[in-house]
A and B are shown apart, each in its own frame.
Chain A
Amino acid sequence: MQGYNFAYLDETTKRMIRRAILKAVAIPGHQVPFASREMPLPYGWGTGGIQLTASLIGADDVLKVIDQGADDTTNAISIRSFFARTAGVRTTTHTDAATLIQTRHRIPEIPLRDDQIIVYQVPMPEPLYRLEPSRAVSRRMHAMADYGPMHVKLYEDITRFGRVAVSYDHPVVVNRRYLMSPSPIPAFDNPKLHRMPALQLFGAGREKRIYAVPPHTDVVSLDFEDRPFNPIRAPHRCALCGAEHSYLDEMVIDDRGGRMFACSDTDYCASYQAREA
């Protein structure tokens, strides 16, 4: 695009971000501060993920962007077209054809490979922020591995509601050390974080943090031995493809309470339909 560098960001900024990525990979789950730039998309709309993607993407990459699991949600379209415009790279909706996947709120259903990178958009990188609003204090808590309060919260949930009342952004412990927000993915997706062959990068633009889960790293969802982590999905089949184990969107189809359930991962749904046909 005229007047702008390849993939929008200037090369100095990209190098700065890559250094933060390297540090993040070296300390799995630890939030690395970085000098987040203003992007032409608003904060909270994926600026962290976009900066990661911009600093990683090369001319040969094939980019997939999803939001809520779907390639054709408005913000996914907007980000994909941003890179098509500023980097001229190929884009795809097929998970297995992508080298780089930027996502908001979901992990694709099919397992990712070690030649892929997944970039998560993160609104609130600090998993402790509801318990401790001061980042100066929460950083100390990470340094001291003072994670008891997080378990106390789970204890309270079970005591009050009979189960853990966190259904998305369920905190995880990475590599037996750092407590980490997996970004607001449904708890259903948490198990996919564990020992994933692909490199997982998390970018929070407004909060100016980058963190990472290197390939094949242990990622454990917080729970109790006798109340194991137990994510739930809508107990239905996908109305479009018939898949039984995918994460489903619920759609209201009439004003008499009629509901339809369909895969949130649109690429998975389409290929499942093709396979079954």
Chain B
Amino acid sequence: MSVLLEARHISHRFGRTLALDDVSLTLRRHEILAIVGESGSGKTTLLNMLSGRLTPQSGDILYYDGHAATSLRVRGERAVRTLQRARWGYVAQDPRAALRLDISAGGNIGARLMASGARNYDDIRAMAARWLEAVEIDVDRLDDWPRTFSGGMLQRLQIAATLVTDPELVFMDEPTGGLDVSVQARILDLIRSLVRRLGLAVVIVTHDIGVARLLADRLIVMRRGCIVEHGLTDQVLDDPQHPYTQLLVASVLPV
């Protein structure tokens, strides 16, 4: 599989905190990569750099567009915005921050379509309805405001609103973080089936080893801004090399 996204020697400081310390990684097409690690290890910061929401102080992010690779820095802010509007997606931990609560569910799903040029009302609406079904929300909620939705429904709505543009690459930051366990399982199932069906490449941040095992092809373990271990998910989890990873895996109770 060919490379889609590549980080080269990313470093970034917030004041005196070295949030990322010389991080490099590659993501292939259709691949699911999980980033795990303790709180404050730099997972979200790394995800924000990869997705162009933050610019690293040093190092480069390269996106392989067709055959050519160009760094996000060289592409410029406007080109990156264009990518973010359609070909890339971002699923935040808190759907309330990502969705517009004063806009109907259909409007929220249609937003990315409209932002990338869709101009046919009926088509947009039909597409929104299809996606509402795909995330298992009743179609007659299409014109309802998200504030009337439950937490799990909101997260599913956010997933629909992200995937509606048929992106090739989706970034997710703890997509099940704010939900209770029973709801988590359902959302994870949904993500797994959609991701496989659509052949998405995904970078998912989680501190839950179980989530990583369920979804990811490959795994990156972070600690204090560095990648301490990476490899195929099963390999890393079954035979952790780095002492920190061993600790991480050991601290998870067997299911």
Contacts and interface: CB of A to CB of B under 8 A. Distances in A.
A–B contact via C-beta, under 8 angstroms: yes
Interface of A: 143-149, 151-152, 155-156, 158-160, 223-227
Given A149-B115, A159-B143, 15 more contacts: A144-B81, A146-B115, A148-B85, A148-B115, A148-B116, A152-B103, A152-B111, A152-B114, A156-B104, A158-B121, A159-B107, A159-B125, A160-B143, A224-B120, A224-B124
Most buried by B among A146, A152, A224: A152
A178 to B, nearest CB: 14
Most buried by B among A149, A159, A227: A159
Contacts of A224: 119-121, 124
Dominant secondary structure of chain B at its interface with chain A: helix
Interface in B31-52: none
A225 B121 CA distance: 7
Size band of the B side of the interface?
20 to 34
A174 to B, nearest CB: 17
A155 B114 contact: yes
B78 A144 contact: yes
A156 B144 CA distance: 11
Contact of A227 (B103, B107, B121): B121
Contacts of B122: 226
Contacts of B143: 159-160
Given A148-B111, A225-B119, A143 B78 contact: yes
A146 B117 CA distance: 11
A110 B181 CA distance: 68
22 contacts: A144-B81, A146-B81, A147-B115, A148-B85, A148-B111, A151-B114, A151-B119, A152-B107, A152-B110, A152-B111, A152-B114, A155-B114, A155-B121, A156-B103, A156-B104, A159-B104, A159-B106, A224-B120, A224-B121, A226-B120, A226-B122, A227-B121
Contacts of B107: 152, 155-156, 159
B117 to A, nearest CB: 9
A4 to B, nearest CB: 46
Q: Which 5 A/B pairs are nearest by Cβ-Cβ distance?
A: A148-B115, A151-B114, A224-B121, A144-B81, A148-B114
A159 B110 CA distance: 12
A166 to B, nearest CB: 15
